[in-house]
Amino acid sequence: MLSYENLRKDEEILSYVGAANDVLGALGFTEHGMAHAVKTGEDASRILRTLGYGERECELAKIAGLLHDIGNCVNRCDHAQSGAFLAFELLRARNFPVDEVIKVTTAIGHHDEKTAAAVTPIAAALILADKSDVRTSRVRNKKTVSTDIHDRVNYAVSNSKLDINAEKKMICLTLKIDTLVCAVMDYFEIFLERMVLCKKSAEFLGCDFELIINDTRLL
C-alpha cells in the first residue's frame, strides 16, 4: 500500500514543497516548508485517529497535509485549487487509487480560508491542523516582527497545543502569547476568520472547538 513515508522521501514532492516555500518567502510570508507540511499532516492524522477513523483515512490526512500548500509554487492566489491539481498529477503518477486521490485533492482544494469548507472528514481535519499551526519558528525574519502583523503574532506564540478529547467531543487550541510582543486583539485581527473556520470544521467532525489564550477561553 502506498504510504506517506514514501512520499515524504520522494525527491519530486520535496521539490514542490521547497519551491512553494521559496515563493512565499519571496512574498514575505511565514514558513510554509516541510516543517509546516509535516506538522499539518501529523496533526490532521492525529485528529482523525483520536476520533476513531480508520488507519488508511488517517494516512490520507497525513498525505493531504504534506501536499496542501504546493500550489503556492504556481501562485499564492487560488493556491488551494492549483495545489489540488498538482497533487492529482503527483498521486496518479504514483498509482494511487482514484478514490484516494479524490479524498486528498478534495481536502487540499478546500483548505484555504477564502474558499474553505469542511466537506469531508479529511478536509475538516486538514483545516483544523493547518490553521492551528501558529509558532515562533515560522517567522523567517525577526526584523519584520515590529512591522508585519503575521510575523508578530507567530513570533509572540511561545507555546501552542492542539488537544482532541474524543470522549468529550472537544477540540481545543491552547496558546501562550507574549503580550509584550503582540496583543491578544492582534491575534484576532488576522485569525478570527480562521478560528471560526476551525469551529465549523470541528462541528463537521461532531465536536466543539475551543480557543484558549493565556488561560482565558475566547471561543
Q: Could you read off the pLDDT of 137-170 as tens digits, one per residue?
A: 999 998 889 888 889 999 999 999 999 999 999 9
Average pLDDT taken over every residue of the chain: 95
Which three three-digit cell numbers place residue 202?
470541528
Identify the pLDDT of residue 143.
87
Q: Which of 84-88, 92-96, 167-171, 214-218 has the lowest mean pLDDT?
A: 214-218
Identify the pLDDT of residue 1.
61
Amino acid letter, 109: G
Alpha-carbon distance 67 to 26, whole Å?
Answer: 20
pLDDT tens digits along 105-139? 999 999 999 999 999 999 999 999 999 999 999 99
Burial of 54 (0-12, 13-18, 19+ CB in 10 A): exposed
Local confidence band at 76 (pLDDT 50, 70, 90 cut-offs): very high
Q: Which of 32-41, 80-89, 210-219 has the lowest mean pLDDT?
A: 210-219
Alpha-carbon distance 21 to 7, whole Å?
Answer: 17
CB 50 within 8 A of CB 73: no
pTM of the full structure: 0.96
Identify the pLDDT of residue 10.
97
- How many CB atoms within 10 Å of residue 56? 11
Residue with cell 514558513: 31
Identify the pLDDT of residue 219.
85
Residue ranges of E strands in the chain? 157-165, 170-177, 208-213, 216-217
Provide mean pLDDT across the span 174-195: 91
